[in-house]
Structure 1
Amino acid sequence: MENALDFLLDQSKEREEQAVLALNTARVELENYYDQLSQIEQYRLDYCQQLIDRGKSGLTASEYSHLNRFLTQLDETLAKQKQAENHFKSQVENCQQHWMEVRKQRRSYEWMLEKKQTERQKQLARKEQQQLDEFSTLQFSRNKANRDSF
């Protein structure tokens, strides 16, 4: 039974390592998402400032329409990016939950093995005490028999 528990513990440790790697990957992807979102937002701000600066020197209706269309595309891109945030957040949450479940399982296997080891040590201690008691009783009987024969 202990070999089976050792095997299960090894398997759960491996699954926990994989879960940690998946969690770290999900966290990195979320951070990359936030970096990309920040870059797009900064690009939009820079573009708006450029539009204002160009507008001060005068724009034709065609130029304004073209620049405004591009700004609308940037806004749509930002909206799509912000919708993706839930996906990345849920990935992190799912990976974290999975890791916690796997870790809990590993800890239960460790607890069972520790319990078995403690039981084994208690059993050995009882056996040793029993042998000492038997030896003492035998020794006492021999000593009494030796005294009685004199």
Structure 2
Amino acid sequence: MDSALEFLLQQAKDNEDKAVMALNQSRTELDNYYQQLKQIEQYRMDYCQQLIDRGKEGLTASQYGHLQRFLNQLDETLSKQREAENHFKQQVTNCEQHWLEVRKKRRSYEWLIEKKQHEQQLAEEKREQKMMDEFSTLSFNRRRLNSDS
């Protein structure tokens, strides 16, 4: 077996393992992002409901202004969170592409190794057949010589 190919295959397997871990990590980060976004959206809805409930009881202009500023800050936070979505999605896409590339490389090395093994097996079978043919020829010639004597 070609030790250089075996070494390259092992490196490719290691790289593929690392790529899978990076892909899983990026998917986890995207899931965490969506969970965080959902929590902020839920918090905003809860806060709006509190604002409505407190408004029914009566608010001063100052209280209302304070609550409205806080709501605006929540809206800005949500806007920034939504902008970050593309970053997390792109990270997953990049990791998927990298994983596909290293997987393809690993498969290529495996194919080369299998091809070499097949070629070696064919060569060995050919050698064995040649030896059997030679042995048969020698045996035939011996029997012929022995029968001629």
TM-score > 0.5, shorter chain as reference: yes
Q: Deviations over 1:11-34 (max 9, x none)?
A: 001100110110111011001100
Runs of 4+ in 1 over 6 A off after TM superposition: none
Quick one: percent identity of the two aligned structures? Answer: 67
Q: Count the aligned residue pairs.
A: 149
Aligned residue number for residue 82 of structure 1? 82
2:134 maps to 1:134: yes
- 1:111 corresponds in structure 2 to 111
Secondary structure, in 3 states, of the residue corresponding to 1:59? Answer: coil
**Distance across 2 between alignment mates of 1:122 and 1:72:** 76
TM-score, structure 1 as length reference: 0.98
Partners in 2 of 1:143 and 1:62 — Cα distance? 120
Q: Find the aligned partners of 1:143 and 1:8 in 2 and give their Cα distance.
A: 53
Q: Counterpart of 1:125?
A: 125
One-letter amino acid of the structure 2 residue matched with residue 145 of structure 1: L
C-alpha RMSD of the superposition = 0.8
Residue ranges of structure 2 left out of the alignment (5+ in a row) = none
What 5-or-longer segments of structure 1 have no aligned partner?
none
Give the match for residue 19 of structure 2.
19
Q: Which position in structure 2 is the counterpart of 1:63?
A: 63
SS in 1 for 2:22: helix
Q: Which residue of 2 aligns with 1:3?
A: 3
One-letter identity of the residue aligned with 2:36: Q
